[in-house]
A and B are shown apart, each in its own frame.
Chain A
């Protein structure tokens, strides 16, 4: 996949946590290129929400969850068994936690580690699944009420992909999104939207992960003989392209 030519598709797929998304995603940036960020005037502070989506990539379907709070964003992929948690600790300082339920392991990336990996996030993209900036490149169309709020349709092409999006303006989230390109089709459909998440949703609570092994990503270099770390290193390393 050529990430530079298909930013919309790539960012969404990767943001949807099909695999360790953000580290892999941001690693696709040119090494010294700053991550695109919105100016303060462009930024809309999204309201806290908890959302459940139905994600379908080709014939594979899964539930995908998003918990958005003022300074934290957590996602969960039921199919992959992974939660990803970003926390904004101060200004542009972030911590990132990847929770691998099947392995009962947690990997923490400190702000310094995120910087060394050149993986500072685009917070607006994390918060809204797709970057609201990309809407400008699509044709704004009809509107209607979905989930009790105004939804606007955006259509067009981005990087050779056809895009059909219903965008919730207040929640700053897609109500539905279809993207297609040769051989690949992805549909994301919002199923539930709450201000407070149902307790049954698979959040990586402290209680749930209390017995998981905790690894500082800075220690990966000393842990290559650990099968879990070796797998993560392969996964992250192979997703990196220049």
Chain B
């Protein structure tokens, strides 16, 4: 019996009972808001969960492969809202939906503070996840003893922390980095570079006061000039940040007026190809990306924008075309799977964070949904008995789901509660100022209200570019300090449990690999 039929039967029966009693006619009206589930559905699902949980078998064997997905700024409220939005995009109420990785068997909470920050930026958080140590604000894969703004390559080398990517490379595994942010941006950069300042992405970003000799390499250069073992291992690097690899004298191939950012005159994209053999390739647009055959390409560098790649919502409008995060993930796994010893892959959904900073929830959620699609792609392409997949975030944002919206209420819309009387229609709930409000909002950011709040009654808050209202006025919405979630499946995934320090994620991966 279908859910709808069951529900109709039950409703009819209840109506009949009330009719016989000749009482409570007002309450007998059908609720305007109804979930699609039957009473039996809830109970059976609970029993099914217990049954499955009782048969959950901890996978103790070593992992051949590890994939670490990081949603930059993907706090728990973002996951909840994205889950609902994804469901609603599929014409469902949404709340019952699960993002692909929410079906993973093991979940924990990650404490994201860094060595010196209560609420962290992406540099020390990714350093924690990829090296096993908490670190300082703005520093990438160096220890907490590293002075701020340290220029000396020797000092950086002495304080460098080996990353999971480097250790996987040393173990003979293939490695890869994928991001929708610049490849030189903090999260992906922490996997392969070591520096005291995350902003030193090109040599032009390093201050003149550092001098010219013995200076730590900029991050883009570090990607190209990795150690010999990492150079052999790092098969694929896909994301944005093209201008950081191009000389200032060169015009961008996609945007006629944009130039490179390198002072040293080097074209690092050409050096990637020239230093990695005949089967190395570089792609800057979708057609070139599609043309790169994993079977015949050993090393692939893809840089699809001068800076960050497009938001997923805008990707279709990109002049030269860009692959999606799930397409980049798929291509990467195909390339890395050629290595019989296994692989380590890091995939970042980097623009969730940027959309939140702009106070634009819709784009943040659509990028979160795309990350979930990329995770599903990875799950579909790998053997669960040999691949540990971890999905987490580096930090949260001051993003909230407010009020008492009814089931199926448009997650991007105005909050409408369950009517007080069954049969009555829903209507926007009113705040203390007598005005409606959106379910989604920010504690601070560019959407802050100066003076009286705008009346949103006739505003399309579901528009792609809508910026949710906020409380504290700030030009850029901020990160938040509460815990983020960790989801895991595969070998040693059971080690992800309870309340965890963020750096323990590295130790789970290390244990899974058996390093």
Contact = CB atoms under 8 A, between A and B. Distances in A.
Contacts of A111: 314, 317
A90 interface: yes
A221 B354 contact: yes
A80 B204 CA distance: 26
Interface stretch (B12-20, B60-68, B456-464): B456-464
Contacts of B475: 220, 232-237
A67 to B, nearest CB: 13
A241 B448 CA distance: 8
A146 to B, nearest CB: 33
B473 A237 contact: yes
Interface stretch (A27-35, A38-46, A133-141, A176-184): A27-35
A117 interface: yes
B72 to A, nearest CB: 10
B460 to A, nearest CB: 4
B307 A220 contact: no
B317 A118 contact: no
A32 B465 contact: yes
Contact of B446 (A32, A222, A223, A237): A237
Contact of A233 (B447, B469, B474): B474
Contacts, number: 124
Given A31-B461, A89-B319, A116-B465, A238 B473 contact: yes
A115 B308 CA distance: 15
Interface stretch (A6-14, A122-130, A187-195, A210-218): A210-218
A33 B460 CA distance: 8
A110 B255 CA distance: 11
Interface string B327-364: 00000000000000000000000010111111110010
B426 to A, nearest CB: 20
Given A27-B446, A218-B354, A233 B476 contact: yes
B255 A115 contact: no
Contacts of B261: 214
B359 to A, nearest CB: 8
Interface in B291-335: 305, 307-308, 310-311, 314, 317, 319
A214 B446 CA distance: 22
Nearest to A110: B307
A240 interface: yes
A116 B360 contact: yes
B307 A218 contact: yes
B104 to A, nearest CB: 29
B446 A221 contact: no
- Chain A interface residue count: which class? 35 or more
Contacts of A120: 465
Contacts of A240: 446, 448, 450, 473
Contacts of B308: 110, 216, 218
B311 to A, nearest CB: 5
B257 interface: yes
Contacts of A235: 475
Contact of A32 (B357, B359, B461): B461
A87 interface: yes
B257 A31 contact: no
Contacts of A89: 255, 319
A34 B423 CA distance: 36
Interface string A198-228: 0000000010001001101010111110000
Nearest to A231: B475
B83 interface: no
A95 interface: yes
Contacts of A108: 307
Contact of A116 (B198, B311, B317, B469): B311
Contacts of A110: 305, 307-308
Interface in B58-103: none
Most central of B461, B464, B475 by chain A CB within 10 Å: B475
A238 B472 CA distance: 11
Contacts of B351: 218
Contacts of A72: 257
B465 A221 contact: no
A31 B358 contact: no
A32 B463 contact: yes
B470 to A, nearest CB: 10
Pick the most buried of B355, B356, B358, B363: most chain A CB atoms within 10 A of its CB. Answer: B358
Most buried by B among A95, A115, A236: A115
B248 A210 contact: yes
Contact of A220 (B204, B357, B449, B463): B357
Nearest to A33: B459
B21 interface: no
A160 interface: no
A31 B448 CA distance: 12
Nearest to B450: A241
A242 B450 CA distance: 7
10 contacts: A33-B459, A90-B317, A93-B317, A112-B311, A116-B358, A117-B358, A120-B465, A218-B351, A221-B478, A237-B473
Given A31-B467, A115-B363, A118-B465, 13 more contacts: A30-B459, A32-B459, A32-B462, A32-B466, A89-B255, A93-B319, A115-B314, A116-B467, A216-B308, A221-B478, A234-B475, A241-B451, A242-B447
